[in-house]
Structure 1
Amino acid sequence: MKITSVTPILLGGDERYGSHDGAAEATDQGDRLLLVRVGTDEGLAGWSDVETFGPAAVPVLQGTGMSGLGFRTLAEELIGRDPLQPERLWDELYLATAYYGRRGVVMHAMSAVDNCLWSIRAQAAGVDLATTLGGRRRDRLPAYASTLFRKTPHDNAAAAARYVDLGFRGVKFGWGGFGVDPARDRDNLAAITEALPADRALMVDPGWYVHDGDRARVRDRRQTEAMLALLDEVRPYWVEDFVHPETPRVYCELKTEFPSLRFAAGEQQSTIWDFRRLVEEAGVDVLQPDLSRCGGLTVATQVAAAAPDREIVTHSWLTDLLHGYSLHFLAALPAATWVEFNVAQSVLSRGVAREHLRLDPDGTVAVPAGPGIGVEVDEDFVRARRLNDADW
């Protein structure tokens, strides 16, 4: 079997990221969404979404590179290659793009390609992805609703109550300017915790930078400590991704001040080397590889092997393609506690899958069945929304 095409498909919409006044739900990246399709000469194809700056990733995936190793594009390296060797191809792509890649947009694009190759590998074997990753240990996972902080305590309480009514076992509120104004944070947390029953988990993702008035900035140490002191009163299941990604040791320092809090991180990191820093320098409790950013399933499996004593919960804030990949990866782990479920899907992210993954009454999401990841792309929707001249 040979790879015959690597196709980036940039979709366009008219929704803006954020929580909006009067809306029951927040919105993810509804203005641009990048999909990647890898095709083969035997008719098998893998699809992946990727959370990145899509317009920049398109030429990385399918553009014209330079003659020197380290300056090439992904399609140039992959066409004609065997798709059933994703780990080997990952290493070669890393070298092929090393002078302008190694992290960022290039690594995100590599992540999408890697996921596609693993899907093709499973399809070629006639099994689901979890089986290809080492064996399906579970058929469903508890889900937490992943959303954004609203602006007022009333709206946050209403959102929390809605997720409880829907059946989610946990809720994660994130970003939205949390961690700047302690009084506002206290009021919002009080409203959320009052709306959540004792048997539902709360996760908090303050983000590592904030919009403070008319500027974006990183919190200073004093603000971070004040924020954690407030969260220490609430004791969420975890506090996520609030340290600058280039200073992971700060997690370890803050852990000595707040030993009762559990810290989670990983959505900003790529490659096994970054995740080793989270384990060895940061000492975080929960690792959160995002399969559309970290380097794909090849890196995620390395993370699981390197950190068997850490809780692993993938970050999955995109379409049901990413949910599907995450569910299969988590289903193959020796232990798995949660799957993140993006309830803030835009028209773009909702429209990609022909049939949506759904929360069951017991608060779990089933791992999709069938060869590959078990999520079918609505190609008519994709063609109708594409902005570039991609075809397949």
Structure 2
Amino acid sequence: MKITEVAPVLLRGDECYGAHAGDHEATDQGDWLLLIRVRTDEGLEAWSDVETLGPVAARVISGQGMGALGFRTIGEQLIGRDPLEVEQIWDELYVATAYYGRRGVAMHCISAVDNCLWAIRAQAAGKGLADVLGGRRRDRLPAYASTLFRADPEANAAAVRRYADLGFRGVKFGWGGFGVDTGRDRENLAAILESLGPDRTLMVDPGWYIEDDGRPRARTLAQTWAMLTTLQEVQPYWVEDFAHPEQPDLYAAAKRDFPWLRVAAGEQHATIWDFRRLVSEGSVDVLQPDLSRCGGLTVAAALPSDAATAGREIVTHSWLTDLLHAYSLHYLATLPEARWVEFNVAQSTLSAGVVTDRLALHPDGTVGVPDGIGLGVTIDPDFIATHQVAG
């Protein structure tokens, strides 16, 4: 079997990221969305989303590379290869893009292609994806609603009540300017906890950078410690991704000063080497590989042994479409222990529309691992045709 096509499918929308005043729900990246499709000469086909700068990534997939190794595009490197040689292909793509890649957009594209190849491997075997990843241990996972902080306590409280009514067992609020104004943070957290009640779990994802007078910057150390002091009053299940990704030692330093703190991180990281640094230098409690960024399932599949040895939890980061939710569910279904799956409730029109049957929350607050051969979700060709633009 040979790969015959590696195609970027770039979709355009008209919704902006953020928690907008008066809106019922926050919105993820609704202006651009990149999907990647891989096809073979035996008629097998797989899709993956990829959370990255879509117009640039489209060129990384199908643009014109250079003659020297290290400057190749992903598509030209893959055409004609056996798609079942998944792990070998990952190593080759890492080298083929090494001079302009290794992290960032190129690694995001490798991640999406890798996911597709795993789905094709499952299709070729006539099995579900979890089965070829090591075997399904569970059919559903508890889900937490993943959303953005709203601007005021009333709006945050209303959001919590909505997620509780839907049946989510946990809620994660993130970004939205959290970690700059201590007084506002304290008011928002109080409103969230009051509506959340004692039977549901709170996670907080303040992010590691902010926008200050229109300019992006990382928080100062003093701002970060002040934010953690505020969070100490509520002690969420975890605090996520608050340190610069190149400084994992800041997580360990924070844990020394805040003994209650459980750190979650990984959405900004890629390759097994990055995750080993999070364990060894950062003492991170919850590892969060994003399958559309970390290097794909090949990288994620190498992580459980390290996590088990160090006593760490794995919860994928999956803030995008139901394609990413499905890949994450299959992966988490194979782990010896899996307590949560992240479920993006802030899907834009683009994120929500790419599959024909959206994944749904069960009344008990869980989401089922898709059944069937391969990934188990189906692309909506009409929606894609309506929103596709030239790469």
The normalised TM-score by structure 1 is: 0.98
Provide, for residues 224-269 of structure 1, a one-character-per-residue CA deviation record: whole Å limited to 9, x for no partner.
1111111111010100000000101010011000011100000000
- What is the CA-CA distance between 1:218 and the residue it aligns to? 1.3
What does 1:56-71 align with in structure 2 at a 5 Å threshold? 56-71=56-71
Which residue number corresponds to residue 124 of structure 1? Answer: 124
- What is the CA-CA distance between 1:212 and the residue it aligns to? 3.0
Q: Does the CA contact (< 8 Å) of 1:180 and 1:212 recur in 2?
A: no
Residue type of the partner of 2:373? P
Q: Does the CA contact (< 8 Å) of 1:90 and 1:298 recur in 2?
A: yes
Q: Does the CA contact (< 8 Å) of 1:30 and 1:347 recur in 2?
A: yes
Residue type of the partner of 2:16? R
Provide, for residues 143-162 of structure 1, a one-character-per-residue CA deviation record: whole Å limited to 9, x for no partner.
00000000000000000111
Q: Does the CA contact (< 8 Å) of 1:177 and 1:212 recur in 2?
A: no
Provide, for residues 107-152 of structure 1, a one-character-per-residue CA deviation record: whole Å limited to 9, x for no partner.
0000000000000000110110100000000000000000000000
Which residue number corresponds to residue 241 of structure 2? Answer: 241
Which residue number corresponds to residue 175 of structure 2? Answer: 175
Which residue number corresponds to residue 269 of structure 1? Answer: 269
Residue type of the partner of 1:336? A
Which residue number corresponds to residue 35 of structure 2? Answer: 35
Q: Point out where structure 2 has 5 or more consecutive residues left out of the alignment.
A: none
d(CA) in 2 for partners of 1:310, 1:38: 34
Partner of 1:21, secondary structure, is coil
Partner of 1:282, secondary structure, is coil
d(CA) in 1 for partners of 2:154, 2:137: 41
Residue type of the partner of 2:267? E
d(CA) in 1 for partners of 2:341, 2:328: 7
d(CA) in 2 for partners of 1:80, 1:214: 47
Which residue number corresponds to residue 342 of structure 1? Answer: 344
- What is the CA-CA distance between 1:215 and the residue it aligns to? 2.6
Provide, for residues 167-203 of structure 1, a one-character-per-residue CA deviation record: whole Å limited to 9, x for no partner.
0000000000000000000000000000002110000
Which residue number corresponds to residue 222 of structure 2? Answer: 222
Q: Point out where structure 1 has 5 or more consecutive residues left out of the alignment.
A: none
The count of residues paired between Structure 1 and Structure 2 equals 389
Which residue number corresponds to residue 52 of structure 1? Answer: 52
d(CA) in 1 for partners of 2:355, 2:297: 20
- What is the CA-CA distance between 1:295 and the residue it aligns to? 0.3
Partner of 1:146, secondary structure, is strand
What does 1:1-392 align with in structure 2 at a 5 Å threshold? 1-308=1-308, 309-388=311-390
- What is the CA-CA distance between 1:214 and the residue it aligns to? 3.0
Residue type of the partner of 1:58? A
d(CA) in 2 for partners of 1:6, 1:373: 18
- What is the CA-CA distance between 1:388 and the residue it aligns to? 1.2
d(CA) in 2 for partners of 1:334, 1:138: 10
The normalised TM-score by structure 2 is: 0.99
Provide, for residues 241-300 of structure 1, a one-character-per-residue CA deviation record: whole Å limited to 9, x for no partner.
000001010100110000111000000000011111100000010000000000000001
Alignment root-mean-square deviation, CA: 0.7
- What is the CA-CA distance between 1:17 and the residue it aligns to? 0.2
Q: Which moved more, 1:208-217 or 1:139-148?
A: 208-217
Partner of 2:30, secondary structure, is coil
d(CA) in 1 for partners of 2:213, 2:365: 38
Partner of 1:275, secondary structure, is helix
Provide, for residues 27-81 of structure 1, a one-character-per-residue CA deviation record: whole Å limited to 9, x for no partner.
0000000000000001111100000001111111011111111010111111111
d(CA) in 2 for partners of 1:383, 1:306: 42
Residue identity over aligned pairs, in percent, reads 69
